Structure 1
Amino acid sequence: MSSPRPEKRRAITEAARRVFGTEGYARAAVDAIAAEAGVSKRTVYNHFRDKEDLFLSVALEGGHEVTAAIARLLEKHLRKIVDVTEDLTAFALERVAAVWEFPDHFALVRTIEAEAARIPRPVLDAWIEAGPQTAHLRLAPYLAGMADRGLLSLGDATAELAADHFNLLTVVNVNQRTFYGAVPLPEDEVTETVTTGVRTFLRLYGPP
């Protein structure tokens, strides 16, 4: 058996992301992924145990890339607050735009949501740990810092709950309406949705 090669692995994962995104988990065949990558089926199995292992690798790789991009946006917009409304709005708008920067990954996200019952549970659990369902945990420390400075008032809520509400009112609202970028909204409609979401969030958590 030949040794795995990084460029071959990269070609396979990129092809797998496209095939899983268009065909779904259940219908995607390793033969089709190999053909898309321009390699033999045996080469795929030199790098991955089976289809489940390949799907998990692709999902986690994309999830980590998006998580890293969001971490940069958090630092850019929320590390130093100048105007809480403007900074939260700018962060949410760039966060929404990230969907269009990773189209193949978010096609995979649509597959995961549509086929959750068919995807092996260990794969699904690993995805949840790395994926968008934990995004509020990364936002929470920034909101807690704003509360410490008197820019927000969390009351009896935890920073994690406030972060969850923020995401639901802004990013998740847009993503659900666009099906994670599959059906784009006009830019002014996205801006209005995010602006209204931030305004509602600050009615809930703004300082007295």
Structure 2
Amino acid sequence: MYWTEFLTVALIHLLAVASPGPDFAVVVRESVTHGRRAGMFTAFGVGTAIFVHVGYSLLGIGIIVSQSIVLFNALKWLAAAYLLYIGIKALRAKPADPAAVAASLPVGERTARGAFTSGFVTNGLNPKATLFFLSLFTVVINPHTPLSIQAGYGVYLAVATGLWFCMVAMLFSHQRVRTGFARMGHWFDRTMGAVLVALGVKLAFTEMN
């Protein structure tokens, strides 16, 4: 009975998650810089943050945020500040020791908790994600759809997001890929830093529609 609605939700989500944004940039950077384990935990963080968006959408809190310029701007500036922070840190990356790169490709010091938090905060504070899930649960999904079914959609969205970014992490943490990026050394970090700063600035100027 709800398969048509579910397929619509799944298709819209696929188009949204496949579009490069802050989540993609953070997962790629963690995967290339710190290896597959860090990339996977970052992906888990992004996927887990989806439950936050689904939760407040089901509770109707998302509507309050969307109607309050103060709350929306607070969320927006927090997210922008975080992206600028990690972006500027990446821009300040120093050249790696050529001998070390030639000998081996170090994974780098990164805890599972740190990688998970990076993904969780990046997605959780993104006001565009707030508006996306709000529109999904108020426009696309019929308000008469049972809450249990809507919760099921939410579980799918979280799992699908996590799996998508796990695939991204696996791709960019592949030894050959990492070795190729390592040859560019600090320039990769600086490039990703510039991308994150640009996304942060763009987010800072996002207007609530």
TM-score (norm 1): 0.31
- The structure whose RCO (Cα within 8 Å, separation 6+) is larger is 2
TM-score (norm 2): 0.31
